[in-house]
Structure 1
Amino acid sequence: MSTQTTTSAAPPLREKGRTGRTATLAAVLLAVFVVPMSISGTAVALPEIGADTHAGLGPLQWVVNAFNVAFACFTLVWGSVADIVGRVKAFAAGAAVYAVASLGGALATDVLWLDATRALAGTGGAAIFSCGAAIIATVFDGPARARAFALFGTVAGAGVAIGPSLAGALVQGLGWRWVFAVHALALLLVLLAVPAVARAVPADGGSGARVDVAGSALFVVAMVLLTTAIVQGSQWGWGSPGVLGLFAGTVVVLAAFAAVENRREHPVLDLSLLRDRRFVGLCLVPVAASFGFVTMLTYLPSYLTAVTGRDSGAAGLTMLLLTAPVLLCPALAAKLVTRGVPALTLVHVSLGCLVVGDLALTLFSPDAAVLVVAVPMLVTGAGMGLSAGLVDGQALELVDPAKAGMAAGFLNTLRLGSEAIAVAVYGSALATVLRSRVEDGIGGYAGAAQAEQVAERAAGGDLARAAELSGAVDTEAFARFLAGSYDSAFHTVLWGLAAVCAALCAVIAILLRGGPAGSTA
């Protein structure tokens, strides 16, 4: 498969030499490394954050959700802004915002402060991913671009893989605040490299067009409404006026967004991009990964600590079985493509791994040995890793280089937007099913009451505090009941995730049918 773009690309930077390109790639990859490391590492720290701040399930969920929602809201905006003002300026602004937000998170005194800093960090992370991918697409071409995007996927996978273990070690050794302090230090190094990046990127003055403020605002409002509806569904009730109103508002705002974008000379999203079904199909691959992999990345650590009794360090080490393939598989996929394996074949294999892996993860139980669940975790991780980076490069080959920032922004909007939605859906579904289990069984334990509050606390992974809150006479027996209820809810939600992945795989297969990515036929 050819790695050349199908449209005229910006001139590759040859006059600056390999040194300038290498420095640019290193700076972009370090920033890209921090973002997924932050997501996976924060998940491991959640139980300690909850215990330290005495946070309920809702505010605790928003430690993860605030980052993902902000990332989803602003990735598309940053991609469009980068094409207008310059990709290096937008990238540097995002790195600076992320560094400041991470420092604020390390100094947070309560969970609401932490939620706010995580939202700000998500805004910066959106610029890093969308502008970083656009910078790589601008600086490199041909086989060098393919190798650069393979590194992009590998480094993102490394962030995912190392995040849980590093966070577990930091939480046990120094406290959860250092999880965020490390991110700030890494982004400081990236900011020091920005002048070198600016020299390496050719003609990065931007188009000079005006930012689509109205379209950007409408898109952000739509994403906030949608994710808030999903997050609050389990607490307000899925049929409550508040949740139904949020969903209805999402539809109305998205319709207004489409109408505005069709009339803009420089829209935040050129809707003509969506007419290429193969581009859309490739952009949906990360959506399947969000439901099949990212949900496990976020909530499996809580299952390991709450149900199986592992501490944070042990949970982080166990998570390496899930995350290690994300580190190794992008480079493997790039090597297979260079040896003639069709990229779309690897995409389909990755999707199959997600479905099979999620189904096999139902082998998890309170007493399951690590060896029993090792293969399902590795297969699920491979489902994420085989398409990471590969999808980005293939999708951007289909797009006019002048719209590379916008296209990368759209791809990463679907990636992180779907992660926000998938994580919110998982959390709400788990809380809903767990509440049902607790309400059905709480009457069998003397003194136990407050089923709703107990279920909310248990869903956050703190079973010991939930048992104390219940007032049960025999707290140890009630804690075992909660562990069994959590285990049952976990398995129910897993079946649902596998079904969602299977449906997405079918849609993607239809969209990608009929020609290789990168062709214009």
Structure 2
Amino acid sequence: MSSQNTQTEALDKFDPRQDPEVTNRAAVKALIPLLITFVLGTLCMQAFNLVFEQVGQDVGDPAHASLITAIPGIILGIVCFIYGSLGDFVSLKKMVMVGMAFLLTGSILGFLATFFITGNLWVVIIARSVQTAGEQVAGSVYLVVATKYLKPSLKVIFFGVFTAAFQLSNVIGILAGGWLATLHWQFLFLIPVVTIFFIPILMHNLPSDSGNGKKIDVPGFILFGGGAAFLTLFFSFNAWWMLIVSILLFAALAVYIHKVEEPFITPGFFRNVPWLLGCLLVFVIDFTPNWFSPMLNAIGRDVYSINSAKVSLLIVWGPVVAVIVGCCSGFIVDKIGRGASIICAATSMAIGMLMVAFLAQKNTIFMAIAPIFFNGGQAFLYSPLVDTVLGTLHKDESGRGVGLNDLIMNTTGSIGISVFGSLMANPALSKGSLIGKTGAGATYSNLALISVGTLIVGVVLVLILRHKLYGSRTDLQNER
């Protein structure tokens, strides 16, 4: 009974200064329902990513269909940053309550509004944005709890489990998106509603303490979030005034954090060279993943004349393999090191993209094989990449580190899908290709080769920056 009381107290207070073993058990007990909630929310996002073009056609606005993915992606990046950063200041339990309220509201209203009332594109975008704002709370809180309260030997393992869960949501999301798209895509909104049953479990297990007790820097959050939002919107709409607004907001933030006593992010963050270089690495390597499934879906439609349901059955094996790789990634990273793991992961992703560029339009079998390499590499990438970035920060900065890392990952993905979406309409890419095709086939092949180029740049950056990222050690295998 005494042991049970001690663990209950740990769950309520979640004080990392208590016995490490008790804290680890409490953290794991909180992480499991968070992981399930994250899977269900991300599943919905991945399903919409697969079928956004069909949704745009159904509501009569195919030209702006990519905004169904791009704008919620912007929202995702901003709330990732907010949720993660708030983990240093406020109660994780309260954060989850607010996030779940957004998730359920967006899910129910999105379904009702699009199924029974209207098919307007902006109704879909707004509902998905509200839903996205809520669904990410589980992922962000999971990473904060894992970073702050797990012992070091468990961190990469739970990062790997997180990756496996993300890939599992990809598997189910691809199948659900392909299947429901042949019926009514509106039902995709209802996928996360089941998370309502996890609320009591989460409320019982999450810590209720309020971080470090410092006052929340609301103006700082607004300036940073606004700057990031307008920067990403610029790549979606190509409106130069948005870029100017973004620059002005970031300039105002730079002045602000030097003037106030306790800004949410200090100037020291931006003087931390290893952290900045880690963020640069994330930006380069994470530029293409969001575009992979939509590109294969487009190839299936335009080259083979098959629908999303059939495409999903082809490409689902990639995420299936990624689930397995994600479960093992933490153990592998612990053996070969973060730098070597990132190189292996990016190389595998590049092989998958090369198959898309040269082989996917010759035989549908390569539409099934390419995702195995790409999604498997993506799953292996997450744990060492996140651990590399967060390893450059002090433990007291881990919440903000998680938030900023998630912001960069998600806004980079949104920028990437916006850039590639606009390039699809560029007639220059359709005039010729290395596979001898023109038209849509040439465009997809050329886009895949551009993606390969970004991944090669990422590998080169790891080799060049390894001393800055991992210290003075020259052996990549010792970076653990």
User: TM-score, with normalisation over the residues of structure 1?
Assistant: 0.78
Does 1:121 pair with 2:121?
no
Give the Å deviation of 1:15. 4.0
SS of the residue 2:439 aligns to? helix
Contact 2:284 2:458 in 1 (8 A): yes
Give the Å deviation of 1:282. 4.0
2:222 — aligned with what?
217
- 1:7-33, Cα deviation, whole Å (9 max, x unpaired): x96546644784x44431211111221
| Separation in structure 2 between the aligned mates of residue 45 and residue 12 of structure 1, nearest angstrom | 48
Give the Å deviation of 1:420. 1.0
**Counterpart amino acid of 1:50?**
G
Does 1:86 pair with 2:82?
no
Give the Å deviation of 1:150. 2.1
Contact 2:157 2:329 in 1 (8 A): no
- 1:275-320, Cα deviation, whole Å (9 max, x unpaired): 4444444444543443232211343323322332111211111221
Contact 1:225 1:247 in 2 (8 A): yes
Contact 1:283 1:395 in 2 (8 A): yes
SS of the residue 2:265 aligns to? coil
Contact 1:292 1:354 in 2 (8 A): no
Contact 2:279 2:408 in 1 (8 A): yes
Contact 1:44 1:168 in 2 (8 A): yes
| Separation in structure 2 between the aligned mates of residue 350 and residue 214 of structure 1, nearest angstrom | 39
1:164 aligned residue (170, 174, 193): 174
The runs of 5 or more residues in structure 2 that have no matched partner are 1-14, 432-436, 474-478
2:12 — aligned with what?
none
Q: Which of 312-321 and 251-260 deviates more?
A: 251-260
1:140 — aligned with what?
150
**Counterpart amino acid of 2:185?**
W
* Aligned length in residues: 451
The alpha-carbon distance between structure 1 residues 271 and 99, as it changes in their structure 2 partners (threshold 3 A), is farther
- 1:457-511, Cα deviation, whole Å (9 max, x unpaired): xxxxxxxxxxxxxxxxxxxxxxxxxx96222222222222222332233334333
The alpha-carbon distance between structure 1 residues 146 and 17, as it changes in their structure 2 partners (threshold 3 A), is closer
1:106 — aligned with what?
111
1:382 — aligned with what?
376
2:425 — aligned with what?
431
1:308 — aligned with what?
304
Give the Å deviation of 1:347. 1.3
**Counterpart amino acid of 2:42?**
P
Contact 1:129 1:412 in 2 (8 A): no
Q: List aligned pairs for 1:16-415, cutoff 5 A.
A: 18=25, 20-58=26-64, 60-107=65-112, 108=114, 109-110=118-119, 111-172=121-182, 174-185=183-194, 187-198=195-206, 201=207, 204-233=209-238, 243-338=239-334, 340-364=335-359, 366=361, 368-415=362-409
2:414 aligned residue (417, 420, 429): 420
Contact 1:282 1:512 in 2 (8 A): no
SS of the residue 1:193 aligns to? helix
SS of the residue 1:65 aligns to? helix
Give the Å deviation of 1:152. 1.4
The alpha-carbon distance between structure 1 residues 319 and 375, as it changes in their structure 2 partners (threshold 3 A), is closer
Give the Å deviation of 1:135. 1.6
2:442 — aligned with what?
488
The alpha-carbon distance between structure 1 residues 382 and 500, as it changes in their structure 2 partners (threshold 3 A), is same
| Separation in structure 2 between the aligned mates of residue 493 and residue 333 of structure 1, nearest angstrom | 29
The alpha-carbon distance between structure 1 residues 398 and 321, as it changes in their structure 2 partners (threshold 3 A), is same
SS of the residue 1:399 aligns to? coil
Give the Å deviation of 1:162. 2.4
2:4 — aligned with what?
none
| Separation in structure 1 between the aligned mates of residue 179 and residue 17 of structure 2, nearest angstrom | 44
**Counterpart amino acid of 2:404?**
F
| Separation in structure 1 between the aligned mates of residue 190 and residue 204 of structure 2, nearest angstrom | 25
SS of the residue 1:337 aligns to? helix
| Separation in structure 1 between the aligned mates of residue 350 and residue 271 of structure 2, nearest angstrom | 28
Identity %: 15
- 1:33-52, Cα deviation, whole Å (9 max, x unpaired): 13432332112232442233
Q: Which of 67-76 and 392-401 deviates more?
A: 392-401
SS of the residue 2:287 aligns to? helix
1:507 aligned residue (448, 461, 470): 461
| Separation in structure 2 between the aligned mates of residue 264 and residue 304 of structure 1, nearest angstrom | 54
2:7 — aligned with what?
none
Give the Å deviation of 1:394. 4.5
User: TM-score, with normalisation over the residues of structure 2?
Assistant: 0.84
Give the Å deviation of 1:56. 2.9
| Separation in structure 1 between the aligned mates of residue 270 and residue 18 of structure 2, nearest angstrom | 26
The alpha-carbon distance between structure 1 residues 11 and 261, as it changes in their structure 2 partners (threshold 3 A), is farther
